[in-house]
């Protein structure tokens, strides 16, 4: 009994205190506080509504993918099924893995991606450093070419590039057919001319320009040559930038289907597999005349294919999200 | 190292040679890229320019070119049934979509820069398009959105459909605006999917810019009693303005070089029909227009940007 009595008393006294405190204030101050308390409650609400609504727009396709990939195909024609399937199954995923030859393709893609990204990031960093810190004749012109690399869409140069690789070598002396080999991806990557290399050179140039010159001067005085300075002093300072650019590079190589489609005749990367999924499905699954599968029901396999092909990057993103976002903030284009 | 062993008396010569040496090192650093870019960028680029002035025919083993002057260009502009139409569509779409993407991404960046619970999660969701939107998955996803055979997508798009916006406007008592205006608003509502999905990188960049605003500016504004609205226009906006240009150019390039836009599709399909001359001419006209647009915009906007260091 005493306890319950004590609590309202305490509350009252606090309220009293507050009332007295308010009385000491001017009308303006009170109005300000009232406005502030209302604002502090309403703004988060609106923020939440906006962010949640837009997040739904972004996540919608992913949710739809997951919902489709784990249902039986009959559920597609069931009007009562919208999000939550009536019959759960792993068969669709299993079949899609078979059709896409998923594990082999995945291994192939990962090797190609990581290899290309590694050499390309290294090459772009060296080039970007060259543009950031050295004066030489024709630098402006050459940097103009870098900007051109960003502006020119790959579609413009893909055909001549194809002939370039088809007859690679010195005219009249020898030529090799590089089409369908990994060299078509590795050679441009190695020489900082791969997918979106122009952008990466630009990012590294900006980044190295932002590092203090004193770092290098100290190294020079200690008797380091420029190359050693780059390797020993500048590169270690650039590790966050390296990581961010590397991650983006992996994503861009992963998502590329245009360039690899030009150079590979067989669909050997995940992205190519996905673009060819329709025809592959027709050959391997829908060929059976005993089963009739309507176009609506085919969506199930397509969504499963989508899910499978983004799952690896999605996983990478979930674990390395910090490096994607904070790396850009700390390095690169800022400045 | 050899510069050091030379006689120290000849100071001027040594300095010169050091400068020269440094410039040589510069070439050393960019050498690899230079070789690659000649092989894999400049030569193909030149070739495609050459093709655009030629009749190109395919022989087994090689391409035959015969100089034809501007014939390809005239036929592409004058005779091709789709090209000019697609070109117009793409340009107009980029024209209204780009400012929307910029405004939207700045708005979202400001929201995501505030402190609230679940901010990390919200950021992760909004950057998600960055890793998906360049790939074939996005092609299929946006196909879902457009195709009517998909019940989910249909329901989804009706959520933002014209009717809803119209109803809302009527409810608010807004009747008098012109058709064009209401068309525009409904277009925005219909395209919210495309806009949200193509502004990942832009949000990222704006967020980086916002975090670069020094806290002293913020404190000063608070001391002076600036409202949020004033703070945005007097502090946030000037600090972010260099990034608006960067983002603008990025958005334009992104939308023009998007392999899903109709001009690109047309170019690729011409290529698949082995019409290399016409395809190259199309690509070069398109590229010329894009370059002109970017130059004009960079020049026009560059005059209004506030640089802190200047």
Give me the residue from B196, B207, B283 closest to A329, CB to CB: B207
Give the best-scoring range by mean pLDDT among A256-260, A261-265, B122-126, B183-187. B122-126
Q: Which domain holds residue B45?
A: 2-52
Task: Report the pLDDT value the prediction gives residue A334, as an integer from 0 to 100.
Answer: 46
Distances (CA, A) of B298 to A272, B69, B239, B246: 36, 32, 18, 9
pLDDT at site B7: 47
pLDDT at A127: 93
CB contact set of A68 (below 8 Å; sequence gap of 6+): A76, A299, A300, A303, A304
Helices in A167-212 by DSSP H: which ranges? 183-190, 197-210
What confidence score (pLDDT) does residue A124 get?
A: 93
Classify residue A288 by its DSSP letter: -
- Tell me the C-alpha distance between A322 and A301, whole Å: 33
Nearest CA in chain A to B155: A82
Tell me: do B15 and B112 sit in the same domain.
Answer: no
Report the alpha-carbon distance of residue B286 to residue A115 in Å, rounded.
Answer: 33
Torsion of CA B4, B10, B12, B15, to 10 degrees: -10
Terminal Cα distance for chain A, rounded:
67
Is it the case that residue B178 has pLDDT exceeding 70?
no
Of A32-36, A115-119, B289-293, which one has max mean pLDDT? A115-119
Domain boundaries, chain A: 13-69, 98-330
Question: B4 falls in which pLDDT band (50, 70, 90)?
Answer: very low
Asked whether the beta carbons of A247 and A317 are under 8 A apart, the reply is: no
Same domain assignment for residues B42 and B184: no
Domain assignment present for B43: yes
User: What's residue A125's pLDDT?
Assistant: 92
Q: What is the pLDDT of residues A320-332, one digit of tens each?
A: 877 776 666 555 4
Q: What is the pLDDT of residue B170?
A: 61
Residue B65 backbone dihedrals phi, psi, to 5 degrees: -120, 140
Q: Could you give the angle at the alpha carbon of B98 between the alpha carbons of B93 and B101, nearest 5°?
A: 120
Contact B26 A135 (CB under 8 A): yes
Question: Residue B159 pLDDT more than 70?
Answer: no
Residue B74 covered by a domain: no
pLDDT score of B3: 45
Give residue B140's pLDDT band: very low, low, confident or very high (50, 70, 90): confident
Q: Is the pTM of this model over 0.90?
A: no
User: How large a percentage of chain A has pLDDT more than 70?
Assistant: 90
pLDDT tens-digit map of B199-218: 888 888 888 888 878 888 88
Question: What is the DSSP code (8-state) at residue B39?
Answer: I
Q: What is the percent of chain A with per-residue pLDDT over 90, rounded to a whole number?
A: 9
Between A73-77, B11-15, B160-164, the lowest mean confidence (pLDDT) is in B160-164
Provide the mean pLDDT of chain A. 81
Residues 6 or more apart whose Cβ sits within 8 Å of residue A288: none
Distance CA B267, CA B273 (A): 10
Same domain, B147 and B261: yes
Span of A109-113, A117-121, B219-223, B262-266 with lowest mean pLDDT: B262-266
The pLDDT of residue B156 is 44
Judgement on whether residues B206 and B89 belong to the same structural domain of the protein: yes
Contact at 8 Å (CB) between B126 and B202? Answer: no
Count of the separate structural domains present in chain B: 2
A-chain residues within 8 Å CB-CB of B114?
Answer: 47
Residue B92: its pLDDT value, please?
86
Decide if B52 contacts B73 (C-beta within 8 A): yes
Assigned CATH topology for domain A98-330: MetI-like fold (1.10.3720)
Beta strands in chain B (DSSP E): 54-59, 62-67
> Which chain A residue has its CA at the smallest distance from B129's CA?
A58
Buried b (16+ CB within 10 A) or exposed e, A173-207: eeeeebbeebebbbbbbbbbbbbbbbbbbbbbbbb
* B195 and B92 inside one domain: yes
- Quick: pLDDT tens for B229-257: 888 888 888 888 878 888 888 888 888 87
pLDDT tens per residue, range A187-202: 899 998 888 899 889 8
pLDDT for res A276? 80
Per-residue pLDDT, B148: 36
Helical packing angle, B200-211 and B119-132, nearest 10°: 140
Residue B97 lies in a domain: yes
In a domain, B143, yes or no: yes
| Distance (Å) of CA B291 to CA B115, B296, B297 | 40, 9, 10
Contact assignment for A64 to B207 by CB distance below 8 Å? no
Tell me: the pLDDT tens digits for B269-309? 887 777 788 888 888 888 888 889 888 888 888 777 766 55
Mean pLDDT is lowest, of A65-74, A130-139, B182-191, for: B182-191
B130, B170: one domain: yes
Q: CB–CB of B22 and A64 under 8 A?
A: no
**CATH number, domain at B255?**
1.10.3720.10
Give a yes or no: residue B32 inside a domain.
yes
One domain, residues B11 and B107? no
Task: For residue B174, name the pLDDT band (cuts at 50, 70, 90).
Answer: low
Whether B61 is covered by a domain: the verdict is no
Torsion of CA A13, A17, A20, A24, to 10 degrees: 180
Instruction: Give ∠ CA A54-A55-A61 in degrees, rounded to 5.
Output: 105
Confidence of residue B310 (pLDDT cuts 50, 70, 90): very low
The candidate with the shortest Cα–Cα distance to B190, out of B166, B173, B172, is B166
A77 part of contact set with chain B, CB < 8 Å: no
CB pairs below 8 Å between A and B: how many? 234
Spatial contact of A50 and A65, defined as CB atoms under 8 Å apart: no
- pLDDT on residue B190: 65
Q: Scan for tokens 């790396």, then name that residue.
A: A327
Mean pLDDT of the B166-181 span: 59
Q: Which of A175-184, A188-197, A283-292, B4-13 has the lowest mean pLDDT?
A: B4-13
> B7-55 pLDDT, tens per residue?
444 455 555 677 787 788 888 899 999 999 998 999 999 988 888 888 8
**Hey, are the CB atoms on A134 and B29 less than 8 Å from each other?**
yes
pLDDT digits (tens, 9 = 90+) for B73-118: 888 888 777 888 888 888 888 888 888 899 999 999 999 888 888 8
How far apart, in whole angstroms, are the C-alpha atoms of residue A208 and residue A235?
9
> Which tokens hold the place of A110?
């990962």
Name the β-bridge partners of B66: B55
Residue to substitute from B101, B208, B211, B298, interface A, most A β-carbons within 10 A: B208
**Among B259, B245, B227, which Cα is nearest to B297's?**
B245
Q: Is A36 at the interface with chain B, CB within 8 A?
A: no
Residue A219 CB neighbour total at 10 angstroms: 18
Minimal Cβ distance to B264: which of A131, A153, A255: A153
* Candidate from A194-203, B157-166, B175-184 with smallest mean pLDDT: B157-166
Asked whether residue B189 is assigned to any structural domain, the reply reads yes
Buried b (16+ CB within 10 A) or exposed e, B170-193: eeeeeeeeeeeebeebbbbbebbb
Cα A26 off chain centre by: 54
Flag whether pLDDT at A212 surpasses 50. Answer: yes
Coil vs helix vs strand at B54: strand
Query: What's the pLDDT at B158?
Result: 43
Q: Is residue B257 within 8 Å of B264, Cβ to Cβ?
A: yes
- Inter-chain CB proximity A55 and B122 less than 8 Å: yes
Task: Identify the pLDDT of residue A291.
Answer: 66
């Amino acid at each position: 009994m005493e306890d319950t009595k004590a609590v309202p008393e305490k509350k009252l006294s606090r309220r009293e205190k507050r009332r007295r405190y308010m009385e000491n204030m001017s009308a303006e101050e009170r109005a300000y506080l009232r406005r502030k308390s209302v604002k502090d409650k309403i703004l988060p609400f609106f923020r939440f509504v906006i962010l949640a609504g837009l997040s739904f727009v972004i996540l919608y396709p992913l949710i739809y993918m997951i919902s489709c990939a784990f249902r039986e195909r009959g559920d597609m024609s069931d009007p009562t099924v919208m999000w939550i399937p009536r019959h759960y199954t792993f068969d669709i995923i299993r079949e899609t893995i078979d059709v896409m030859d998923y594990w082999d393709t995945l291994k192939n893609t990962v090797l190609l991606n990581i290899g290309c990204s590694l050499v390309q990031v290294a090459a772009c960093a060296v080039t970007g450093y060259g543009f950031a810190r050295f004066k030489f004749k024709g630098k402006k012109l050459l940097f103009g070419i870098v900007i051109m690399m960003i502006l020119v869409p790959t579609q413009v140069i893909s055909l001549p590039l194809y002939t370039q690789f088809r007859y690679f070598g010195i005219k009249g002396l020898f030529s090799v057919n590089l089409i369908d080999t990994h060299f078509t991806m590795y050679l441009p990557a190695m020489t900082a001319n791969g997918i979106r290399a122009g952008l990466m050179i630009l990012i590294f140039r900006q980044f190295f320009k932002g590092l203090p010159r004193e770092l290098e001067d100290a190294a020079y005085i200690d008797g380091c040559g420029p190359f050693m300075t780059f390797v020993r002093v500048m590169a270690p300072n650039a590790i966050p930038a390296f990581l961010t650019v590397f991650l983006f590079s992996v994503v861009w190589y992963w998502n590329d289907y245009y360039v690899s489609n030009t150079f590979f005749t067989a669909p050997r990367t995940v992205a190519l597999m996905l673009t060819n999924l329709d025809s592959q499905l027709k050959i391997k699954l829908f060929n059976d005349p005993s089963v009739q599968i309507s176009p609506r029901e085919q969506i199930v396999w397509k969504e499963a294919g989508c899910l499978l092909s983004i799952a690896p990057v999605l996983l990478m993103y979930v674990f390395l999200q910090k490096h994607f976002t904070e790396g850009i903030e700390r390095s690169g284009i800022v400045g | 190292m050899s510069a050091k062993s030379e006689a120290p008396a000849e100071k001027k010569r040594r300095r010169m040679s050091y400068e020269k040496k440094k410039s040589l090192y510069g070439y050393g650093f960019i050498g690899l890229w230079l070789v690659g870019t000649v092989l894999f960028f400049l030569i193909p680029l030149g070739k495609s320019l050459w093709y655009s002035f030629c009749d190109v025919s395919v022989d087994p083993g090689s391409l035959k070119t015969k100089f034809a002057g501007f014939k390809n260009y005239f036929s592409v502009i004058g005779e091709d049934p789709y090209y000019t139409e697609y070109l117009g569509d793409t340009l107009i779409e980029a024209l209204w979509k780009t400012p929307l993407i910029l405004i939207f991404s700045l708005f979202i960046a400001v929201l995501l820069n505030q402190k609230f619970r679940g901010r990390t999660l919200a950021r992760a969701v909004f950057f998600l398009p960055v890793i998906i939107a360049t790939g074939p998955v996005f092609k299929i996803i946006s196909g879902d959105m457009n195709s009517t055979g998909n019940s989910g997508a249909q329901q989804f798009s009706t959520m933002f459909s014209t009717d809803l916006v119209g109803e809302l406007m009527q409810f608010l008592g807004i009747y008098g605006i012109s058709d064009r205006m209401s068309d525009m608003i409904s277009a925005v509502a219909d395209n919210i999917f495309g806009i949200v999905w193509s502004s990942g990188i832009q949000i990222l960049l704006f967020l980086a810019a916002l975090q670069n605003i020094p806290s002293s500016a913020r404190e000063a504004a608070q001391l002076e009693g600036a409202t949020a609205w004033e703070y945005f226009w007097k502090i946030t906006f000037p600090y972010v303005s260099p990034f608006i240009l960067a983002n603008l150019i990025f958005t334009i390039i992104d939308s023009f070089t998007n392999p899903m836009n109709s001009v690109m599709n047309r170019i690729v399909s011409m290529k698949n029909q082995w019409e290399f001359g016409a395809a190259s001419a199309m690509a070069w006209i398109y590229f010329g227009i894009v370059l002109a647009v970017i130059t004009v915009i960079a020049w026009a906007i560059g005059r209004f940007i506030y640089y802190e260091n200047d």
